[in-house]
Structure 1
Amino acid sequence: MPRIDGHCDPAFAGVRDALANNFEEHRELGAAVCVHV
């Protein structure tokens, strides 16, 4: 699994997993995500 830094509320674990999947399955090189609710 790739290293993903930052805080992720358990309610958004699916979003974090989808981000990690992009690195593993689609060979992404970098990404940033910021969500304020």
Structure 2
Amino acid sequence: VEELAPDVYEVEFSDDDGRPYAMLPVEAGKLMKLRHAPVAAR
């Protein structure tokens, strides 16, 4: 992910093997945080 402008990021989409198939600008409000492991409770 690279910041292109305030609240706009270039996101690279890749397959399960890590091969990129698209790079698109995405507004920050349309992004969601993905987690690959549980987050500890606070």
TM tier relative to shorter chain: under 0.3
Q: TM-score, normalised by structure 2?
A: 0.22
Q: TM-score, normalised by structure 1?
A: 0.24
Larger strand proportion, structure 1 or 2?
Answer: 2
Larger helix proportion, structure 1 or 2?
Answer: 1
When Rg is computed on C-alpha atoms for both structures, the one with the higher figure is 2
Q: Which of the pair has the greater relative contact order for Cα pairs under 8 Å at 6+ separation? A: 1
